[in-house]
Amino acid sequence: MIQFFFENISEIPINPTVKQWLEDLIYAEDKKPGDINYIFCDDQYLLKVNRDFLSHDYYTDIITFDYVKGKTISGDIFVSLPRISENAVSLGQGFDSELFRVIAHGVLHLCGYGDKSKVEVLEMRRKEDHYLSLFLK
């Protein structure tokens, strides 16, 4: 089950088709959806998560905690909405487009895709673009 939560930030409307899109993405990657929680928050909340759990002292747009078992995709995905907004402006994207990219990014991490090397980043971006094209058509 995919759920959306809001911490330290006003709730925003999430397109009701997002859950089905994410499930379709997971099935397309030959996986099964489990319990996936998106926690939308502000920068300070995500910075605290980054410091407390990863010992990183910097702002980020997303942190994914992986609870995957076999082919069942489960995890907690923390997303900073202010960071998404800033990134959208700096990248010349709309807020929704950047938000959906990051939402897909988190699930793709749970599906096994990384983003540490240049090759991984290119593959992640290719996957994000592919799934975004299916959602935003």
Say what the pLDDT of residue 15 is.
Answer: 86
Q: Are strands 62-66 and 72-80 parallel, antiparallel or unpaired?
A: antiparallel
CATH of the structural domain 2-135, one choice from 3.40.390.30, 3.30.420.40, 3.40.50.2300, 3.30.465.10: 3.40.390.30
Q: Is the pLDDT of residue 137 over 90?
A: no
Average pLDDT value for the chain: 94
* CB burial readout 43-73, b (16+ within 10 A) else e: bebbbebbeeeeeeeeebbbbbbeeeeeeeb
Q: Model confidence over 34-91: pLDDT tens digits?
A: 999 999 999 999 999 999 999 899 889 999 999 999 999 999 999 999 999 999 999 9
Q: What's the confidence (pLDDT) of residue 16?
A: 86
CB 79, CB 59: distance < 8 Å: no
**In the chain, where are the structural domains located?**
2-135
Contact 76, 39 (CB under 8 A): yes
